[in-house]
Structure formats: structure tokens, C-alpha cells
Amino acid sequence: MRIISGESKGRKLVSLKGIATRPTSARVRESIFNILASRIFNASVLDLFAGTGALGLEALSRRAANALFVDLSASAVKTIQQNITACKAENRSQVCQWDIAKNIACLQAKVPAYDMVFMDPPYNKNYIVPTLKKLLKRNVLKDGATIIIEHAVAETVPGDLLGLHMTDQRIYGKTLVSFLTVVFQKNHSGAH
């Protein structure tokens, strides 16, 4: 597994042993980043269920400003740290070992909030909607932020969850990638 493009292009990433983690294939990663091309520069990125960190590291390679990688597995966290070092991205990366299924208290409401979120949860475990709701409630996403979810074709991602708008879906074999945009409804008192 390698970084596809950008300043770390060709850099080999350490993989996780076993079948608990299902890395995003190079073809799917390349397709995702072709779609996101214009939104990556200087973005603040959140990589949830990060696994090897390949999605966040690909964003950093393509000049995202920074990334926070979150995963529950100790071996995933160790692998992410090795991959961050391999990509010389230590000064733009943070890693947090956390159980996102329970809560996302590891994410401090911060300014600036995140521009881009990658979610690659275990398939068919009902993590998607609860995690999206927690993200919206935690107030860590910028208006207009992009959320990219890699999931099983059988899993539904609501395109109408309050504050989210489905902009695209692509099928790659048994994988469906959903792209959502955060659209906060602001209360305007006539002023724009």
C-alpha cells in the first residue's frame, strides 16, 4: 500500500496484520481523491476508524493543513504513527486511541473546525448514523465540510440527516462511497 499522489507520492505504508481492518484499495482511494481534488488544499482533516491512516495521510500528502486520526485498536494506532513518521507528517498529525462507538469526547470543539471527515467503519455494524449524529452534536464541523463514508452497499446513509446533504455516491465492487456536505441552517434576521 502506497501514497498515490502529492509530496509523499510512492511512500510505502505499513499495513495492519489480520482481517479486522479492511484497507481502502488504491483504486477507491484514487477515485475519492479525484472527486475531492479542489477541496483538499489547507483542509483540516478528521480520519475516523482510521485503520492504517491511509486516507488522512493521502490528504496530507496532497497538502491538507493537518489531520487527526482516531481508531480504537492499539495496533492500528501504532501503525498510524509508523505511517505518519514514514510520510514525515509528524508536525501536522495527531493520533487518538478512542472508541468512537461510545462517544466522540476525544474531539474537542475547536476552532477552526474540520473541513473534511473520512469515515471507514467496520461494515454492517450500524456505526454510520450514530457517528454522524455525534459529529453534528459535537460541533466540530465547518459549514460546507465534506464527509466521505466508505461502507457496504447494503448499508444506507441518510442523505437528509439534519445538517447533512448527500452530494454523491459511487460503487466500487462491494464498497459504496457516500459524499455528504454539512449545511447548517442559520437563523438569519434579514442580514446576510
Q: How far apart are the first and last CA of the chain?
A: 47
If you classify domain 26-182 with CATH, what class do you get? alpha beta
185 pLDDT exceeds 80? Answer: no
42 pLDDT exceeds 70? Answer: yes
d(CA 76, CA 16): 7
192 pLDDT exceeds 60? Answer: no
What is this structure's pTM? 0.91
d(CA 69, CA 114): 12
Domains in the chain: boundaries: 26-182
Contact between residue 130 and residue 157 where contact means Cβ atoms under 8 Å apart: no
b (16+ CB within 10 A) / e for 17-48 = eeeebebbeeebbeebbebbeebbeebbbbbb
d(CA 95, CA 47): 9
Q: What is the pLDDT of residues 104-136, one digit of tens each?
A: 888 876 655 899 999 999 999 999 999 999 998
The CA-CA-CA angle for residues 72, 74, 76, to 5°, reads 80
Place of cell 477541496: 39
Q: For residue 109, give the C-alpha cell.
A: 470543539
154 pLDDT exceeds 60? Answer: yes
Q: What pLDDT is recorded for position 161?
A: 81
